[in-house]
Structure 1
């Protein structure tokens, strides 16, 4: 599926993604747990250039990420639905904000050192205490 759409619970915000996802992950960091109300954060990574807001205007909460760079967490100002975060050069779209997410499955876990003991860990996929190490240049 190349094009995907999504939005908030009340319908005020809608968005479109026009490129395949770069991956699907589960983040267990403390900030994501706060944003979800305790659970890990299931996200699909979309190239920033493929992401477009098609309706409405989000509110963005900005904070410093583990990298030291700013991360913006977008949500609907009407219903409060968490929608995506922007740790450039990609957009981490919440799987629950997608209109159709049935074909998506996680392929890694991040920040497992912060995971609550009751967080589900999927067997057989890579898990990292924080971020995975960067790939060497050229790969």
Structure 2
């Protein structure tokens, strides 16, 4: 599936992804746990240049990652649905799987920040797990 669409729970914010996803990750960092209410966040990695907001204006919360770089986390100002993140220095948007209109074909292919995982977080057998952020490869590799 090349084009994907998504939205918040109330429909005020809508978005589109027009290129294949680069992967699906499960983030166990404490910021993601706070955004989800305790669970890890399941995110699809979408190329920034293929991501666009098609309706509404999300609210953005800016914080710093453990590397010191800025991370922008977006959510709907009306219903509060967490939508996506935009880490600095990375050409990807981390789209929450729950914000996608159809995520039935997506499965995780890595876990990150597992050192912050609660003991009850689900870990998928057979996929790589990293204590913090995995090493990033340049696009095209």
- Partner residue, 2:11: 11
Q: CA deviation at 1:11?
A: 0.5
Structure 1: gaps of 5 or more residues? none
Structure 2: gaps of 5 or more residues? none
Render the CA deviation track for 1:99-139: whole Å, top value 9, x for unaligned. 00000000000000000000000000000010113448x94
Q: 1:135 to 1:54 in 2, by over 3 A?
A: closer
- Partner residue, 1:122: 124
- TM-score with structure 1 length normalisation? 0.96
Q: Does 1:101 align with 2:103?
A: yes
- What number of residue pairs does the alignment pair up? 139
- Partner residue, 2:133: 131
RMSD: 1.5
CA distance in 2, matches of 1:112, 1:56: 34
- TM-score with structure 2 length normalisation? 0.95
